[in-house]
Structures are given as structure tokens and as C-alpha cells.
Structure 1
Amino acid sequence: MNLVQLFILQLLAHMLADFYFQNDRLAAQKNTHGFRSPFLKWHILIVFLLSWGLSFQAYFIYGALVIALTHYIIDGLKVYLNRSKWLGKYAFFIDQALHLLVIVVVTMGYGLYLGINPWWEMKLSAHSLMIIFAYMVCLKPSNIFIKETLKAYEIKVPGTNDLPNAGKLIGVLERILVLTFILLGEFQAVGFLIAAKSILRFKNDDILKAEYVLIGTLISFGIAILLGTFVELL
């Protein structure tokens, strides 16, 4: 295992804890009550266990403790950030940026000063780990990122009679397809997918909805393209 593999594993641990091991209701409770949230302590325990477990090395317990402790402080103080008139709508991005910064510092510090000595030989390369990470980002985390981006720019969903959550499912499927096409080198298929969605989703007299879907589509495709590019760089 090398430093890049350890870093990707810690990103996976963070993503699992922050996006997959908590639902919207528990996340809202944590964001509303801060340190007084009953779920926050369980969330931090999950963060610690995933961080340490996915490091595959005993001495990273100290790094996992630092990550969990700072995660507790950041999440506990996020309630005040949410109440800020100027920064409240960017709370999600600030929160995630701080978590990412901690992971970078802890991982780099551990790898450079203590050395990487896993108890289990990592069979997956950094490239393979990045592929797993990219596909996982394409699911729930991307939906939340898009929602928070639209919220930050104060873009509201226009009136619609579409099926509930249909847009989320379409977004997930299109990101998976785009990422897969990029990894296979079929770049022309990405353009075909954009054209196909445009024909199926838009009507000439539905300008507001068309603009809203276009914004979401561009962000969604952008996420998948960037992920595919990062994967190919490893």
C-alpha cells in the first residue's frame, strides 16, 4: 500500500460515513442541533471505525482518532454556520472542504512521519480504488451536491407533475453511463447521451423547467466527466 491508496481509502471512509451511513432525517437533525444531537455521537463513532478499518493498519488508530475528533467539532459547529446570513447557503461546501483538508493533512502526516505498514496486503491498485470511489460518488453524494449547488444559487424547482425522485434516478443513471463511457474511451457516446436526454425531456413551451433540468444536467455530466478524468490520470 502506498500513500495514494491510503488517501483514497480515507476518502471512501468519509463518503460512506457522511453520505451512506446517515439518511436525510438524521443529517437534518445533526445540522439543526449540533453538539446536542443524539445522532452526532453515533455518527462520529462510525467515522472513527470506518477511517481506522479502511486504513488496514493498526497504528492509524491515532490518525482515525484525529479525523473523528475534528469531524465532531466541524459537525457540531455547523449549526452556527447554517444560521449565518452570508455563509449559511454555503455550509455544505465549507463543511466538506474542512473534512477533506483534515483527511489530507492526517494522511500525509501519517504516511510521511510514521510510515505505512498495513496488516493486510492491498490487492487493489490506486486506479482500481479510484474507479470504486468514482462510481460511489455518482450515486447519493452527487445528488446531494447538485441539490446544495442549486440551493446556494437560490434556484428553485419549477412546478412539475413528474414522478417523485424520478430526476434523482435519472441523474444517477446518466452519471454512471457517462463515467462508464469515459472509462471505456467511448467519448462520442457521451454527446449522444446528452442529445438523447434533451430530446426526451424538454418541450419548447416549458422554458423554466428546461432551464432547471439543463442546469442539473450540466452539473451532473460535469461531475461524471471530472471523475472519469481523475480516474484516467491514476
Structure 2
Amino acid sequence: MVLFTKLLLAHLIGDFLLQPSRWVIHKEANKEKSRYLYLHVLLHFALIMLLVWDLQYWKIALVIATSHYVIDLAKLYVAPRFRLQSVPFFLDQVLHILVLYCCVYYGNLTEHTMALFQGLDWPLVTAIVFVSSPAAIIMGKLLEAMSDKIELDHKSLPNAGKYIGIIERLFVLMFIIMGRWEAIGLLIGAKSVFRFNDLKESNNRKLTEYILIGTLLSFGLAIITGIIYVNA
């Protein structure tokens, strides 16, 4: 685990802290002809050797550096095909981390992976999944009759309310598991403060009631889920 942590730290430093924007732009424009692509790969190799501080791991460093070159080059060619650049970005990061994992546990990769899955807290995983999209869909069905009577605010970001609800339910679940019930009150208070000006300006009682019911439903579902998990 220590080795994986060091390799991950080297990756984070090399990919984020020590990669200027001009390198990224130059790579996107010149692809395999970009000198910064090769400098970036060499930097990763050097960071791995520096953090591991053991010459016997040079082969692992070489494999990771080579795979980094291949993955980054593939990303440079594939990324323009995606409308959302976040998709190739996250795919790129996942592939890099998978390579690190495979290099560290290559001797017992299958056994270690199986042990990870068997050691998962499956009730917690289920609770996390439930308070995300399933809870949002349930709320949508419960509020369906009311939503038809509310005028849509076209100034809002697409699906912003959905994502805000998912994030707040995840926070509530985390606070319940930690036993920090007072933090839930602070979260409700913070949300109320941010919503106050919008509701005051709209002067729409139906919208106020709709948001209040939605907020209570969202927190209620998360609280019930947390209580069930803690007492299971």
C-alpha cells in the first residue's frame, strides 16, 4: 500500500502540479511531435524514482512512464471527438491509476482485487448509490404533480437542482455515519441562506413551498437511509 501511495503521489505531482498549461496546449497542437510530451513522461519517471528511492524499482518506473506516454498520446487523438472534455480527462486518469495498481500488485493481482471487493462495506455502497440518482428519481415522482404548477427558471443551470440534491444527501449520509447531527442543521441553514435571496426576488409562494417540500424530502430520504445503515 505504501508503494502504491508513493506512485500515486508521483502521478499527482507530475500530472497536476508540474504540468503547466502551455505544455498541455503544445501537446494538443503537436501531439507526438511535442517535446513537452516526452519531457512530461521523463518527469514522471524521475518523480517515481525520487519518491520510491530504490533502484530496484526502475523497471516499474519504466513501465509506468511508457504506459503514460501511450495513454497520453491516445488521449491527444481521441479527446477532440468528445463534446465534453471531462470524459477523456477522467478516462485518462482512471487508466493511469489502473496501471499503477497493476504494477504494484502484479504478483497477486487477481487475489488482491478479489480481497478488495470482498472487503467492501456493501451496505454503505448501497446507501451511497441510493441517495444519489435513485433518491432523485423517487423525489421527482413524488413531486411530479406539483412540478407542473411551477414556472421553470430558464436562468438556472441544466440539472443543477438534481446535482445539488445528490451532493447534499451524500453530505447528510456522511454526517449521520460520523454521528455529527449538528452538521446537518448547519447544512440546512447554509442552503436556506443561499436560497433566501432567490425566493425573495421571485416573490412566488408556490415556488417557495415547492423548494421547501423538496428540501425536506431530500434530507428526509438521506436521514432515513443513514439511520438504517447505522442500525443495520
Structure with the higher helix share, 1 or 2: 2
Which of 1 and 2 has higher RCO (CA within 8 Å, sep 6+)?
A: 1
Larger radius of gyration: 2
